[in-house]
Amino acid sequence: MINSWLLFYFFVFVVSLLFTGILRRYALSRSLIDIPNARSSHSVPTPRGGGVAIVISFLLTVVFLGTNSWISWPFTFVLLGSGTGIALLGFLDDHGHIPARWRLLGHFFAAIWALYFLGGMPPLVLFNVDINLGFLGHILAVFYLIWMLNLYNFMDGIDGIASVEAVCACLGACLLYWLAGFHSLIIVPFTLAMSVMGFLYWNFPPARIFMGDAGSGFLGIVLGVLSLQAAWFAPKLLWVWLILLGVFIVDATVTLIRRLLRGDKVYEAHRSHAYQFASRHYGSHLPVTLVVMAINLFWLLPLAACVVLWDVDGALALIVAYVPLVLLAVRFHAGELERT
C-alpha cells in the first residue's frame, strides 16, 4: 500500500515537472516574458506562467481522489471551485491586465465558495478558551482567505521562495499529521507539495520560469483552505498552519501596514518586502530562499510541533514564532521606501 502511494505521488511530481517544461516553451514562443524593470527583483528576462503546471497537476489529482472517495466531495468542490476560479483570474491577468476591483470581486466569490462547502469558519481555541464567532467568524474567514491568496502573490517575488514556502508548509503539516494521528488529512497537502516540487525544479534559483499570478494566488487560497479544513478536525491545527506559514504572513503583513501608514497605494507593484530588500543586500536570490527554508525547518516546524504534539497553547506558540520574524522583517526594512 505504501509503495502504491509513493508511486502515485511520484506520478503527480512528474506531471508537474513535464508540464512546467511545456509551459516554458509555450511562454517563450508567445513572448510571455517578465522583462526586468525598476520594480522587479530579477535582472534577466524570464518566462512566466509556470504555476499553471501546479494548478493542473493538483486539480486533476483532486478529481481523481474525489472520484475514488479518498477525499469527500464537498472538499473536492472547495478545491475545484475556489482553486480554478483564482487560477483562471490569475492566468488572465498574466496574459493582460484585469483591474484591481474586478480581481478583488473574484477573490470574494472564491472565498465565499470555499467557505460554503467547508461549512464556514470552524470554532477557535484562543488561550484555552473555546470561541465560536458565528456569522462574524464567517466574515473574518472570507477576509482571511482573501489575504492569504493576496499575500502569496505579494511574496512571489524572487526565485524559488513561494515554491519553497509551500513545500515546507505542506510537508511540515503532513509530518505533524502523521505523528499526531490525523492520517486522513495527509493526502491533499502531500499532493500539493508534489505538484509544487515538480515546478520547483524549474523555479529554483536561478529560475528558468516564474510562477505568475495563476500559480501564486492558487497556492495562497489552497493553503488557506487547508488550514480551515484542518481546524474542523481539531481547532489547534489552524494555529499549526499559521505558524508554518509565518514567514510569508509576517513579511507581507508588516509590509502592508507600514505602506498603509505611509499612504502608499497598496495595490500597486513594489519591491519593499523584507525578502526583496534582503535579496538586494546579498546580491542573490539563493541565500534568501535558503534562509526561508531554514527558518521553516528549524524554527517554525518545532514550534508547530509543540502545539499539535504537546498541547502548547496555539496562540502563545504563534506569538513566540512571530516575534523574531517581525524583528527580522523590520531589520530588513519591510515596507520602507527603497533607498536610491
- Asked whether the beta carbons of 188 and 226 are under 8 A apart, the reply is yes
- For residue 311, being part of any structural domain is answered with no
How confident is the model at residue 303, as a pLDDT? 98
- Residue-wise pLDDT for 223-264, tens only, equals 999 999 999 999 999 999 999 999 999 999 999 999 998 878
For residue range 273-329, what is the model confidence (pLDDT) as tens digits?
A: 999 999 999 989 999 999 999 999 999 999 999 999 999 999 999 999 999 999 999
State residue 216's pLDDT score. Answer: 95
Selection from 338, 293, 280, 328 nearest residue 41 by Cα: 280
Nearest Cα to Cα of residue 165 among 291, 325, 23: 291
On whether residue 280 sits in a domain, the answer given is no
Residue 126 confidence (pLDDT):
85
Question: What is the pLDDT averaged over residues 57-77?
Answer: 95
Per-chain mean pLDDT for the chain: 91
- Going by C-alpha positions, the residue among 70, 99, 76 that lies closest to residue 267 is 99
What mean pLDDT comes out for the span 103-131? 91
| Residue closest to 215 by CA, chosen among 22, 61, 49 | 49
69 falls within a domain: yes
Q: Which domain holds residue 225?
A: 2-234
Between CA 35 and CA 161 the distance in angstroms is: 19
Would you place residue 2 in the very low, low, confident or very high pLDDT band (cuts 50, 70, 90)? low
Q: Is 33 helix (H, G, I), strand (E, B) or coil?
A: strand
State residue 169's pLDDT score.
98
Residue 305 domain-assigned (yes or no):
no
Whole-Å CA distances, 234 to 38, 157, 228, 239: 46, 33, 10, 10
173 phi, psi to nearest 5 deg: -65, -40
Q: Could you give the percent of the chain with pLDDT greater than 90?
A: 75
C-alpha cell at 331: 531589520
Give the C-alpha distances (Å, rounded to integers) separating 79 from 67, 109, 114, 245, 313.
14, 13, 7, 19, 29
Confidence of residue 37 (pLDDT cuts 50, 70, 90): low
Number of domains in the chain: 1
Residues 6+ apart with CB under 8 A from 228: 114, 115, 118, 121, 122, 141, 144, 145, 238
How much is the pLDDT for 132? 86
Q: Are 230 and 237 in contact (CB under 8 A)?
A: yes
Residue 322 lies in a domain: no
Neighbouring CB atoms inside 10 A of 132's CB total: 10
Q: Is 145 helix (H, G, I), strand (E, B) or coil?
A: helix
Q: What secondary structure does DSSP assign to 71-134, as a single string?
A: S-HHHHHHHHHHHHHHHHHHHHHHTS---HHHHHHHHHHHHHHHHHHHTSSPPEEETTEEE--H
Taking residues 155-161, report their average pLDDT. 92
State the Cα torsion 218-222-224-229 to the nearest 10°: 160
Residue 261 within any structural domain of the chain: no
pLDDT band at 130 (very low <50, low <70, confident <90, very high): confident
The SS3 assignment for 30 reads coil
DSSP-derived secondary structure for 179-235 = HHT-GGGSHHHHHHHHHHHHHHHHHSSSPSS--HHHHHHHHHHHHHHHHHHHHHH-T
Q: Is the pLDDT of residue 133 over 60?
A: yes
pLDDT value at residue 203: 95
Peptide bond between residue 206 and the one before it cis (omega within 30 degrees of 0)? yes
Nearest to 276 by CA among 156, 151, 153: 156
The answer to whether residue 320 is domain-embedded is: no
